[in-house]
Amino acid sequence: MPASVVLGAQWGDEGKGKAIDQLAPNSQWAVRFQGGNNAGHTIVAGGTTLKMHLLPSGITASDCKLVLGCGMVVDPWVLDRELKEWAELTGEHPEGERLFISERAAVILPFHRLYDSADKVVGTTGRGIGPAYRDRTERVGIRFVDVGLLMGRSQEIGEMARRMNEQLATVGVEDRIDPVQLGSELKWIHERFSNAIRATGPMLDDALARGEQVLLEGAQGAMLDIDQGTYPFVTSSITCRANATHGAGIHPGHIEQCYGITKAYTTRVGNGPFPTELSLEEGPGKQMSVVGHEFGTTTGRPRRTGWLDAVALNESQRLNGYTGLVVTKLDVLGGLDELKICTSYELDGQEVKHLPSSSEELSRCKPVYETHPGFPAMGEEEWIQIAEESRNGGGIGSLPSSIRAYLTRIEEISGVPVVSVGVGPDRLASIASSGGPFDIELSEATF
């Protein structure tokens, strides 16, 4: 059985957590392959809302094994906290039982968080992501496999602390790393997690050979990709399909399905160009913010909002080759008189069909819109009812024709079929295309 990938098609927060939660019962493995706890993936099932930062969203399926892959940067303290929260909710301690951390994953240390706090440009999440990847690229970082090997090597640890302190001084951060403290932190990481650290690449390769299904969970989104996104206003990892298998330690030939998750509009947290951005104070931008509860899952910052940017969506399709699109938060647009889709930009009087590589140029791009009729607002219960009807064979056809027209247009522009439509935060508030990959039985919450 092959691997499937779930990826953010925009600037993050598209609803990846919800999609993974839906697919996980049919997968034996759920794997994070890049990023760290800059991610915040929400799952709403019944009365329970989960916000996962490091644990793969497939954790909700009790038979699904979980991997923090080699492409990740992992903050052990955040992982510890998340595991405690999970244990409080369910009584389960998955570490070493069904949760495995790649030996090769990079460790985020307090130094990385401190260094990240000096960021004044990007508007990072402040979780130490960029600095941890920087250390990895410089080949001075610590991976989980290295933590055990460092035990008792106080000279090496002292050298490490000295380097960290020099770097903190260069960016004007006053805190300093104490080598003795660093040593005891490494000891704690070793004691806390050594039962879960594994060579996860070979584990997944063996699982695929046995015919098991592997679900690869992207974090962030294509437009935040370090190489292909709106640099420098991006995250520090490759968020695209090409890295999904590499960051899991398996080869790209395993991927069969690749789902791009896109909101029916656009949001962005942090700094950087956003051509279709609207005002948060009034009109459709305010509606998206208020009705969509657009606040960052990790930092709580208000998300910037705007119309669907099909130029960006098409770039993400070019990079990821989606086999299906999941269009989320359609319900949020209910009640707007008209809906707009940006199909190209105008830059210095010229039509632009691709995102300029320079963020300075992108910030000068004016969106060119096509306009579609809106549809009436509906309450959460009404949407859930349509979603239930859709599961009796109607699929996306259960939606009113004005809404279907908007979705059909997204399919036409992107060239990718819509396989599921989100009409509310709850696991059950989704409308899948009949017979498609998301046309699966969705259960009530079991926790």
Q: Which sequence positions are flagged as catalytic?
A: 13, 41
Q: Which of 142, 196, 332, 341 binds ligand GDP (CB under 6 A)?
A: 332
Q: In the range 424-443, which residues lie near ligand IMO by CB under 6 A?
A: none
Complex with Mg ion: residue 300 or 435, whichever CB lies closer: 300
| CA–CA gap between residue 316 and residue 227 (Å, rounded) | 12
Q: Which of 15, 40, 201, 285 binds ligand IMO (CB under 6 A)?
A: 40
CB of 435 to ligand IMO, least distance (A): 29
Burial (Cβ within 10 Å: 0-12, 13-18, ≥19) of residue 120: exposed
Indicate the SS3 state at residue 228. coil
Q: Which does 122 bind (CB under 5 to 8 A by kind): Mg ion, ligand IMO, ligand GDP, none?
A: ligand IMO
| Closest-CA residue to 327 (of 303, 308, 314, 305) | 308
- Residue the block writes with tokens 């019962």: 25
Told to check if 13 binds ligand GDP by CB under 6 A, we report yes
Q: Quick one: tokens of 117?
A: 């706090």
Q: Which of 5, 7, 13, 324 binds ligand IMO (CB under 6 A)?
A: 13
C-beta of residue 98 within 8 angstroms of C-beta of residue 66: yes
Phi, psi of 180 (to 5 degrees): -70, -45
Q: Which of 8, 15, 36, 40 binds Mg ion (CB under 5 A)?
A: 40
Residue 146: Cβ within 10 Å count: 14
Q: Which of 57, 235, 243, 266 binds ligand IMO (CB under 6 A)?
A: 235
**428: Cβ–Cβ under 8 A, 6 or more apart, which residues?**
384, 387, 388, 442, 444
Q: In the range 267-296, which residues lie near ligand IMO by CB under 6 A?
A: 269-270
> How distant is the alpha carbon of residue 272 from its chain centre?
18
What is the radius of gyration, based on Cα positions, of the chain? Answer: 22
Q: For residue 269, what is the enclosing H or E element?
A: none
Q: Which of 7, 10, 16, 104 binds ligand GDP (CB under 6 A)?
A: 16
Q: In the range 272-301, which residues lie near ligand GDP by CB under 6 A?
A: 292-293, 297
Q: Which of 224, 255, 310, 362 binds ligand IMO (CB under 6 A)?
A: 224
| CA–CA gap between residue 29 and residue 208 (Å, rounded) | 10
Told to check if 220 binds ligand IMO by CB under 6 A, we report yes
Residue 202: Cβ within 10 Å count: 11
CB of 18 to ligand GDP, least distance (A): 5
Residue 344: Cβ within 10 Å count: 19
Q: In the range 406-425, which residues lie near Mg ion by CB under 5 A?
A: none
State the number of binding residues for ligand GDP (CB under 6 A).
23
Contact pattern from residue 408 through residue 427 relative to ligand GDP, giving x for each residue in contact according to CB under 6 A and a dash for the rest: --------------xxxx--
- The DSSP bridge pattern shows strands 48-52 and 41-45 to be antiparallel
Indicate the SS3 state at residue 65. strand
State the number of binding residues for ligand IMO (CB under 6 A).
24
Q: Which residues of 18-49 are buried (b: 16+ CB within 10 A; e: fewer)?
A: bbbbbbbbebbbbbbbbbbbbbbbbbbbeeee
Q: Which residue is nearest to ligand IMO (CB)?
A: 270
Complex with ligand IMO: residue 54 or 164, whichever CB lies closer: 54
Indicate the SS3 state at residue 431. strand
Q: In the range 125-154, which residues lie near ligand IMO by CB under 6 A?
A: 125, 127, 129-130
> How distant is the alpha carbon of residue 48 from its chain centre?
20
Complex with ligand IMO: residue 134 or 372, whichever CB lies closer: 134
Window of 13-21, 90-98, 118-126, 263-271 that interacts with Mg ion by CB under 5 A: 13-21
Give contact residues for ligand IMO (rule: CB under 6 A).
Answer: 8, 12-13, 38-41, 122-125, 127, 129-130, 219-221, 224, 233, 235-236, 269-270, 297
Give contact residues for Mg ion (rule: CB under 5 A).
Answer: 13, 40, 297
Give contact residues for ligand GDP (rule: CB under 6 A).
Answer: 8, 12-18, 40-42, 44, 292-293, 297, 328-329, 331-332, 422-425
